[in-house]
Structure 1
Amino acid sequence: MLGIRALKLLQEWGCCRRCIVIFLGERSDLLYGDMAVIDDTLKSAALKIKDESESENGVAEQGSETECGQEAPLQEGSEADGSRGEAQVSSEDSICDHMAKKQKCSVCITCLGLLQWGCSSDAVKLLSDAILSRGNDGDSFALALSFPVCLSLRVHRVWTLLLQALPNFPDKGRIDHVGTVKEVWKNIVGAEIEVAIKRKFMSKKYLDFILNVNSTHSRDMIECEIMETLCSAMFAVRRQQHRKYSNTVFTKQAIETAMKKVSDEEFLKACPEPPCVPDEAIVFQSLQCQQTSIYMAGRYNKYSRELPQTPWLVEGERKMETSVQELICESLLGAVKADDVKFSSSGREDVDVRCLGTGRPFVVEFINPCRTKFTRSEMKELQAAINSNTKLVALRDLQVVDRKDVKILKEGEEEKTKAYCALCIARDGYDPKVLDRLSGLTELTLNQKTPIRVLHRRCLATRQKMIHKMIASPVDDYFFKLHLTTQAGTYIKEFVHGDLGRTTPNLGSLLGVEVDIIALDVENVALNWPPRCDD
């Protein structure tokens, strides 16, 4: 039978049992079974594959069935002498029993031991310990695997030889062969890890917690060199691009592209023999736990005029001792135990500007966190701890939010309005009656060139901004307070002093006196997010 002949060839070349089952086209859950199941599946899968010349009722070739109609034991070549010999095992031994004995010391020529040692109890323990050592609080996990580039090359090589030897052998499983190897490994190992760590293995797409397994093989790059011979022009170009391919020109994508360009006939001329039996199995070079980010949002008040929103560094030198971001994130990071954080807010105030009222909305993304579950009571405790540790900032409405809701923070930046209070000075004095002019000005359009103070980090442009309303109240003969509500992104300081005429109209031109700003407070950021917490 065609399937029996294929099985014998693959066995003689040095394929493991699971790989042979994959070559024979099996794609069911039987691939994930133990060796007893694999042995049964191996036999049934081989017997299903028949040549067109074979009868439809399943009568096999000469010698494939006994005279009484029962299936004869399958046979394979003996490798006791270390060669790919042609000697046959005795009829009383099954092919699968013989393969089991042989594979205790032989590494599979196609999966490189991934479906052998890679599925062993030692491998399962290694992977289980990697997950547990992370200290993650999740209930589920998934696996992601990257394997040596030469694994794909070896599979391709065996397929070309198999189809050369057996032209009628069905090749529908050739396209997804490598992907099937990966899925088989994940489902076998995932089920074992699930038992070991008491967490559910997610075989389908799952992004919350993934163990990324990067596997390598000692002969990986050496075996890929044959593709440079077959596709010399392609790899010559890649070798000239030193920066782009500084690590290696033999990337997975490059090898797959090259294999598509080379016909089976050309490939067989360069590789007329099966791949050699590896001296060693695949190894797990690195194990990395990847937990999806969690997001905490809230609103902060800033009470200091000597506190930047984010760390202020100039040419690597710190200008201020701390920042809003650090005061908030350092405490939260200790609770979440993440690798890193990203702080974002709805706009930002200058270092010398206070943020009062209900505060400024912010969100913190915790990258690869260990802890992802927090009760409302725990969030209150975190907020209280930050508020008690400093008088520079205060938090409110601290809560865990979904990633999809974070976009509200950025979408509202251009649409929201802000309310300010500016303490202004007219150095030559002013008539209190001129302040009344301001209350009658609504929806005032400003033309603001990029301020001189930020030209070093923002491009030169003229931006139109809107002042929705304003009202001024005198403090004494020189000072007065200006309350105004503006479009987000309006430069308030420049509106007050004019920025050497770069903002028009400005407060000085509206009042007819020279004006400067002494202090500025943000009194309200009109963005109704995150939701207010009842406590």
Structure 2
Amino acid sequence: MLPLKEKDKAIVGKLLASGCCARCVLRFCCIGVPDAYRHGRRETLRQLRAFAEENHNCQNVGQLEPARKRSRLESEEAADEDEGEGVCVVCLGVLQHLSDASQAVQIADAVKKEKYEVDTLVLSISLPAQVCVRERSCWLPPCHFDQRSPRLARAKCGALGRRDVVQVKEAFKWIVQGPLARELGAVAVAAKSPLEVSVCFAHPETDADCHFLASTCPDCFKVSKNKQSAFTRMAVAKALEKIPDDKFLERSPRPPSRPSSGCAPPEVRCVHASVLAAFGARGFNFSSSGREDVDVRTLGNGRPFALELLNPRKSQLSPESMKNVQQVINASSEKVRVRDLQMVGRDAASRMKEGEEEKTKSYRALVWTQKSIREDDVAFVNRIEDLRVDQKTPLRVLHRRALAVRQRLVHSMSADLLDEHHFRLGLRTQAGTYIKEFVHGDFGRTKPNLCQLLDTHADILELDVESVDVDWPPALPD
């Protein structure tokens, strides 16, 4: 039984006419019953069409057709239905052609290939950013039949709020996790596990679908060196939160336009929590010697960190086993490396934290200046040593750090001129110095700052940590 009611008829008819697939129609009707999504998509589509057309005295959709009749109808009508259905205007085919048994086989094959020794896994789904945009565009029209009274219209059509709509990720998991568990045998799909299987969908029209958001909320979209596109899912979601419904409807087509193609077959990545698996631990507490902004790389020898394992089944690993864990971690990512992985006691971890305020750090930054920089400006910067700086809590962290003035020491600086408006700036500073604020001044909250020293506006374009000068942990022999 599809748990639809009489009040859902207007929504079902409107969404089908708009180009939504059968499972997206169920989502917008807020059907939270997993079994409803596990029926074949063609069979569900037929039932929805019949429901939308039947007389208004019927309260629920009838029972699904018997298996023999269903098989015969599918063989006779499959081609016609596929042609009429097209690619879903909301999920872009994820819940149509990319959530069947063959998809479960592909995910299972990726897990089996790595030969992980685990009994559970977590399924993580990544969708194209424009799914959020198309979902909002398709959700709004059924609730705006009566433009003079949108609230009354929403009540008449029986729709709930956007937060009540079943998410594409959730529906995909409901469909796939059963066949996936059968393919993997002893490995179960769970809410927590050392093994995360990430299924990443992509679509070629993401930038085109989201482009209008950039002109409406330009502050939400910033290109960085770590991002291939400014239209990330997080940035798009932030922009959609800022745009009121009426303004959104002016800029976005409704219903959403037909995509020229569906999502490509997904990329499947396996992320294994190697340390947890090696020790049989159920969780961990992570601590590190300081931290950096998300757009700042830590190079050189890296940053000291410690993991406290929770409820481990093993208390020791041999040096060879620990080295193997380190190799597995380093082979799993191109952006993160671990060195000198070893067991340490609580006292050793405490020494790591004690050195946070005492250590020095070396940085390399790309700086832009408004006025032209000459060689004598570079020579002036190179001569600066042991500069004491007063830094009032930066505006960007004021929401989580107490308002205070902290004195920090810039031990030395070196500048390499690139052109008249750009130069590379090397700094060696006391730990805890806000480098970005030292460069641009943070509206005068950091004094002195590079803007004052060079008598021009300046900003930082790139920043890397070249070294964290803490002699911890002890170096291990190769």
TM-score, scaled to structure 1: 0.46
State the SS of the aligned residue for 1:193: helix
Q: Find the partner of 1:16 among 7, 14, 21.
A: 21
State the SS of the aligned residue for 1:226: helix
1:172 counterpart letter in structure 2: L
Separation of aligned partners in 1, 2:320 and 2:88:
50
CA contact (8 A) 1:23 1:173 kept: no
C-alpha spacing 1:221/1:335, structure 2 compared with 1 (3 Å): closer
1:175 aligns with 2:180: no
Identity of aligned residues (%): 20
2:357 — aligned with what? Answer: none
2:238 — aligned with what? Answer: 257
State the SS of the aligned residue for 1:247: coil
1:26 — aligned with what? Answer: 31
C-alpha spacing 1:46/1:201, structure 2 compared with 1 (3 Å): farther
Q: Find the partner of 1:410 among 349, 366, 369.
A: 349
Task: Tell me the CA shift for residue 6 of structure 1.
Answer: 1.4
Task: Tell me the CA shift for residue 109 of structure 1.
Answer: 1.0
Separation of aligned partners in 1, 2:201 and 2:255:
23
Q: Find the partner of 1:164 among 141, 144, 162.
A: 144
C-alpha spacing 1:24/1:414, structure 2 compared with 1 (3 Å): closer
2:81 — aligned with what? Answer: 102
2:184 — aligned with what? Answer: 197
Task: Tell me the CA shift for residue 268 of structure 1.
Answer: 2.1
Separation of aligned partners in 1, 2:56 and 2:79:
22
CA contact (8 A) 1:24 1:46 kept: no
1:146 — aligned with what? Answer: 126
Task: Tell me the CA shift for residue 280 of structure 1.
Answer: 2.0
1:191 counterpart letter in structure 2: G
State the SS of the aligned residue for 2:197: strand
Separation of aligned partners in 1, 2:80 and 2:91:
18
1:136 — aligned with what? Answer: 116
Task: Tell me the CA shift for residue 337 of structure 1.
Answer: 6.4
CA contact (8 A) 2:326 2:339 kept: no
C-alpha spacing 1:153/1:259, structure 2 compared with 1 (3 Å): same
Please show how residues 165-314 of structure 1 align to structure 2 within 5 Å.
Answer: 165=145, 167=154, 168-177=156-165, 180-204=167-191, 206-229=192-215, 231=216, 234-235=217-218, 237=219, 242-243=223-224, 247-294=228-275
Task: Tell me the CA shift for residue 5 of structure 1.
Answer: 2.0
C-alpha spacing 1:21/1:242, structure 2 compared with 1 (3 Å): closer
CA contact (8 A) 1:13 1:274 kept: yes
2:107 counterpart letter in structure 1: L
| Rg (Cα) greater in structure | 1
CA contact (8 A) 1:150 1:223 kept: yes
Separation of aligned partners in 2, 1:338 and 1:289:
12
2:374 — aligned with what? Answer: none
State the SS of the aligned residue for 2:160: coil
1:19 counterpart letter in structure 2: C
Separation of aligned partners in 1, 2:50 and 2:33:
11
State the SS of the aligned residue for 1:64: coil
Separation of aligned partners in 1, 2:88 and 2:163:
20
Task: Tell me the CA shift for residue 199 of structure 1.
Answer: 3.4
1:130 counterpart letter in structure 2: A
Separation of aligned partners in 1, 2:54 and 2:338:
71
* Deviation by residue 1:132-183 (Cα, 9 ceiling, x = unmatched): 1111111111210111011111000001112113532233252253x62101
1:102 counterpart letter in structure 2: E
Task: Tell me the CA shift for residue 408 of structure 1.
Answer: 6.3
Task: Tell me the CA shift for residue 11 of structure 1.
Answer: 0.8
* Deviation by residue 1:376-429 (Cα, 9 ceiling, x = unmatched): xxxxxxxxxxxxxxxxxxxxxxxxxxxxxx7565147899xxxxxxxxxxxxxx
* Deviation by residue 1:187-208 (Cα, 9 ceiling, x = unmatched): 221211111121333342x131
Task: Tell me the CA shift for residue 286 of structure 1.
Answer: 2.8
* Deviation by residue 1:445-487 (Cα, 9 ceiling, x = unmatched): xxxxxxxxxxxx9979xxxxxxxxxxxxxxxxxxxxxxxxxxx
C-alpha spacing 1:269/1:126, structure 2 compared with 1 (3 Å): same
Gaps of at least 5 residues in structure 2 are: 1-5, 64-72, 146-152, 280-299, 302-317, 331-336, 355-427, 432-478
Q: Find the partner of 1:6 among 11, 16, 26.
A: 11
CA contact (8 A) 1:144 1:211 kept: yes
2:407 — aligned with what? Answer: none
C-alpha spacing 1:153/1:45, structure 2 compared with 1 (3 Å): farther
Separation of aligned partners in 2, 1:37 and 1:238:
40
2:126 counterpart letter in structure 1: S
* Deviation by residue 1:335-376 (Cα, 9 ceiling, x = unmatched): 88613374558xxxxxxxxxxxxxxxx429xxxxxxxxxxxx
Task: Tell me the CA shift for residue 38 of structure 1.
Answer: 7.3
CA-based RMSD of the aligned residues comes to 4.5
State the SS of the aligned residue for 2:208: helix
CA contact (8 A) 2:42 2:81 kept: no
Task: Tell me the CA shift for residue 99 of structure 1.
Answer: 9.2
Task: Tell me the CA shift for residue 13 of structure 1.
Answer: 1.2
CA contact (8 A) 1:21 1:41 kept: no
2:96 — aligned with what? Answer: 116
Separation of aligned partners in 2, 1:31 and 1:407:
52
1:248 counterpart letter in structure 2: S
Separation of aligned partners in 2, 1:260 and 1:238:
11
Task: Tell me the CA shift for residue 21 of structure 1.
Answer: 0.8
Task: Tell me the CA shift for residue 131 of structure 1.
Answer: 0.8
2:349 counterpart letter in structure 1: K
Task: Tell me the CA shift for residue 209 of structure 1.
Answer: 0.8
CA contact (8 A) 2:194 2:272 kept: yes
1:279 counterpart letter in structure 2: S
Task: Tell me the CA shift for residue 266 of structure 1.
Answer: 2.0
Structure with the larger helix share? 2
Separation of aligned partners in 2, 1:45 and 1:149:
33
* Deviation by residue 1:45-86 (Cα, 9 ceiling, x = unmatched): 979xxxxxxxxxxxxx994349xx99899xxxxxxxxxxxxx
1:160 counterpart letter in structure 2: L
1:517 — aligned with what? Answer: none
2:274 counterpart letter in structure 1: S
1:187 counterpart letter in structure 2: W
State the SS of the aligned residue for 1:216: coil
Task: Tell me the CA shift for residue 30 of structure 1.
Answer: 2.6
Separation of aligned partners in 2, 1:228 and 1:244:
18
1:39 — aligned with what? Answer: 44
